[in-house]
Structure 1
Amino acid sequence: MPISIKEVAEGFTSEQKFFILRRLNYDGLVSLDELPAGVTFMLEKIYALSETEAVEILKEYLAEHDEDVNIPEADYEFAQKLVDQAPNSLDNAESGDVKTNLKSHFDTNKPLNEKELELTNVVDISSTESITHSPFELFDWSMQVRLEAGLIAFHSPYPEVRAVTEPYDDPSVPCETPRAIIVGLIWVSIGNGLALMFIKALGYNIDGQAQTYISDQKMGHYAKIPPRAMFRWQMVSVSLLRSFL
């Protein structure tokens, strides 16, 4: 059931919530009274993270994605800046305890609106200032370190993945695969099964070739090969392959 932005992560100020929505690319919501499940999920998870847990997540992120060409440079540098600005008192935390606490955050069976942690060091920001802050401008370390860590731990470190996927699976959305199988079997039984087989075969071939093309382009990206050059050699290889088949 959708809930209002006022009812989720109540320890955050309104300005902090709006900044988080902008960072999550949800600043264009029509209504703040009925938040999508993904927004509610991320707000609660970010709110529940402690500063120590967030710093631990960012440290692992920096170590694992060093020289990762798919990580935007601005994201990586900002994460490094947040870690560098961490108070010295956080370094005394036990790593094992932090990892144990982090595992508890992935229990998606908990209610999304459960209050797990009291927020500390909240900075009250005026609405005018919150609009002018860029995503990579450090102005509220406590909130921003948990925001960036939450994006990595509970969503994805890659902006492209976050742009096309939701961090929260909605159990109310029906699964299409069983329905497609049942309807397909019915049509095979009462319709033309041979025609359906041709459609399936053509669809599989087109999809397979498209996936191969994308995979080759990705390998070309890693190998620093321009996309057009990769496409030309793909056309040559396909032509040679077809000539021998």
Structure 2
Amino acid sequence: MITVERLSKFIGVQKDVVLHDVNIQFHKGELITIVGSSGSGKSMLLRCLSLNMKWDQGTFDVDGVDVLNLGIVGKMKFKKEWAYLEQSPEFNPKRTALKNVLIGQSNQTPWWRMLTGMVRSDDYMGAMDVIESMGLLEKAHLKMGQLSGGERQRVAIARALVHGAKVILADEPVVGLDPKSVESVLEQLRTLCKEERVTVLTVIPLELAERYGSRIIGLSKGGIMFDVKGRRLTQQEKNMI
């Protein structure tokens, strides 16, 4: 059980409200889609949940653990298990998809591995299994510049999983992708939820949220307007965001 209570975030000298008294409970294997207009707090919510942004108020409990009061080591472990995927994930363009997956990001791997690119030989098989599950086996040895936007997003998901992600926080992962790539990325996320019990929270357009989400959370002005099971939203609900 994951419980967020009274999460609030303010920015600037005037303490402008970005998030206010956000309360969420969710479980393993859910694909939670987050919708709302620009400036509603969608991206900030994911950044706070991934601990990439400090909370101004609230409590964060994961299976009985008080996340906000973890020490440095505890928070480093948490960030591996709660992977934050940006809209345009960064990779080393000189390395292959496989090497990027194996080496990971700066918060996932030791600095010397980031610098040298050295990995253990027994890590390869596990990484290749995950890459294959993403439908990218034939792309594993291509440089990142040779991959499409949708393929890069799936490499980012594979990288998170190889480094221990149990929760994926994906901020607009399908923006700018062609329809086929959009479907591929979201189908992969849905499969991870169903088969691997990975939990996904993602910001995506409303029509895709209705199609793919097991839950839909609507935000407006930093607050939750509704939290419903995945379905077509009513016009009243749409008007709330």
TM-score bracket for the superposition, by shorter chain length: under 0.3
Task: Pick the structure with greater CA Rg.
Answer: 1
Q: Could you state the TM-score of these two structures normalised by the residue count of structure 1? A: 0.19
Q: Could you state the TM-score of these two structures normalised by the residue count of structure 2? A: 0.19
Higher helix share: 1
